[in-house]
Amino acid sequence: MEYLYYLANASLTLRVVQHLHNRPQTPVSFITVIHQIDGWVVRIKLRDPVSAQEDGDFRAFCNELGISYEPPMRVQMALWSLEAGQYPVDVMRRYQVAVVSHGSPEKEEIEAFRQQFVRGLGYCPETLA
């Protein structure tokens, strides 16, 4: 099973990651987090299927925070490359996307990305709030 969502800002992205960390029974294979100029792409891939109830509950949670996402080909190729085991740095170079995390993301990784980005810009864009 797979979930692919587009979220408006870093806070919402952190909520999804935290939600999954608080539910260790959810069989997460990996989570990919990509930052784009106008928002965040979050892909959650599960190892095993979950019940229809769990699937519905998680979709409802994600739909409250963002929207289901159909990525453009460049982002889709980046997601496939990461799943195939390519290094995030290589994927970033090849597809010109900002891979914040791939695997089992920790809150600290997203926070560190946000702080470095804001420090480089000198202000905090809405998507990093």
pTM, 2 dp: 0.91
Exposed/middle/buried for residue 37 (C-beta within 10 Å: 0-12, 13-18, 19+): exposed
Write down the pLDDT at residue 123: 72
- Domains of the chain listed by start with CATH number: 2-128 (3.30.70.1950)
pLDDT tens for each residue of 31-76 = 999 999 899 999 999 999 999 999 999 999 999 999 999 999 999 9
Inter-CA distances, 71 with 36, 57, 121, 125, Å: 12, 23, 26, 22
Distance of CA 104 to the CA centre of its chain: 10
pLDDT tops 90 at residue 108: no
pLDDT tops 80 at residue 101: yes
d(CA 17, CA 33): 9
Write down the pLDDT at residue 59: 97
